[in-house]
Amino acid sequence: MSVVLRAWQPVWLVALCLCWALSLTPAARAASGPEIDAKVDIALAQLLRESEAARALNDKAVAVLVFPDIVKGGFGIGGQYGEGALRRNGLTVSYYNIAAASFGLQIGAQTFSQAIFFMTEEAVAYLDSSKGFEIGADANVALANEGLGYDVTSSTVQDPIIAFVFGQQGLMAGLTIEGSKITKLQK
């Protein structure tokens, strides 16, 4: 009997992880503009408080797109989703969502925030004209990670789009293939 129970332990562990991952996902309703704005205010303030590089970029950026709560989960097949706001001079000008599907060796769930700094008007125009901007597929997006020692210099500010990922919570492990698509919302 104990041999049979031991054989089922991995199945119970996987089921427990899936239940935990599902408990982290938000209700399936879109947030209102004021709800998104309130979360963007908090997330952007956190990033600017914690990152000297982000503060320097924020002063030079034409616009910044902030996704305060991106939820990512998976077990073999996974996905992520979040809603955010594009800010110019501190004011929201439009709303976007970010979504991705992934396939590979993965398990877990996590939430995180992402801020994308647009350094030129052309970069902002590309966001709107692309009918679905894709991070991971566009070579003109630089990923800034404080742990990797990203420095804001005259050469890095030459990048038209610079993205920060911050505020990670939860655990997601594995190797996946994915690209995130950003789409304008009608709010």
Q: Please tell me which residue, 72 or 48, carries the higher pLDDT value.
A: 48
- Distance from C-alpha of 85 to C-alpha of 115, rounded to nearest angstrom: 10
Over the chain, what is the mean pLDDT?
75
Q: pLDDT tens digits, residue range 120-161?
A: 999 999 887 876 666 654 445 555 654 444 455 545 556 788
pLDDT of residue 28: 47
**For residue 26, pLDDT beyond 60:** no
pLDDT confidence of 60, banded at 50, 70, 90? very high
Residue 91 has pLDDT above 90, yes or no: yes
Q: Are 113 and 49 in contact (CB under 8 A)?
A: no
Beta pairing partners, 184: 96
Question: Would you state the pLDDT for residue 42?
Answer: 97
Residue 144 confidence (pLDDT): 61
> How far is the C-alpha of 105 from the C-alpha of 177, rounded, in Å?
9
Domain that residue 163 falls in = 2-185
pLDDT of residue 111: 87
Overall domain count for the chain: 1
Per-residue pLDDT tens digits for 49-58: 998 889 999 9
Tell me the whole-structure pTM to 2 decimals: 0.74
Retrieve residue 55's tokens.
């503060």
* Spatial distance between the Cα atoms of 101 and 164, rounded to a whole number of angstroms: 20
